[in-house]
Amino acid sequence: MLNIIKITDMRRIKLTFGIIIFCLIAKSQTPYYYYYKGEKQYLTLHTEYAFISVKEQSVPNSIQQRSIQTTALRSDNSDRKQYQGKNRTSRYYAELKLEKNLSEKQYLELLEDIKHQNKDVIIAPYFKTERGNKIGLSNFFYIKLKEIHFFSQKFNFI
């Protein structure tokens, strides 16, 4: 009888330990990644920085009132005139330096709040690589296609 109780307790301990390990592994896998040379490269939100793009050459009041530090605004119209349509207007972009120690939830809520208060603002998160390098996103996104598909060739998308 005592052996049966020990075996059952041992199975429970192993099962509990297995569930805990599984949860820790699942939690550590970030939903943010990109592929480089066919392998997933995981990213983590870098909650101290954000990218902002605005129509005017000034930072919106809602950001200034929060005492958020910004780099100097730069025009996105420097060398890209050849790629822009006739109706394309310049935008200005900067990097925001936010508070330290924001949780991911607080960070995402802050970005959403800034966007909600300023309809003309494009705001995007920053990420960290596994090595700690900072990666910013912007409203310009360039990709290199692995191969051109028939659909793209037929309709001249590329």
Q: Where are the domains of the chain?
A: 1-30, 32-154
Question: Does residue 145 sit in helix, strand or coil?
Answer: coil
> pLDDT of 37-90, one tens digit each?
888 888 889 999 999 988 888 888 888 888 788 888 888 765 555 555 555 677
In this structure, of 7-21, 53-67, 88-102, the range with the lowest mean pLDDT score is 7-21
**Which pLDDT value is given to residue 145?**
60
| pTM exceeds 0.75 | no
pLDDT confidence tier of residue 152, bands split at 50, 70 and 90? very low
Name every residue whose Cβ is closer than 8 Å to that of residue 51 and which is 6 or more positions away in sequence: 93, 94, 95, 96, 122, 123, 124, 125, 126, 136, 137, 138
Only one residue has tokens 């959403």, namely 112
pLDDT confidence tier of residue 12, bands split at 50, 70 and 90? confident
**Which pLDDT value is given to residue 130?**
81
* Residue 121 and residue 52 in contact, taking contact as beta carbons nearer than 8 Å: yes
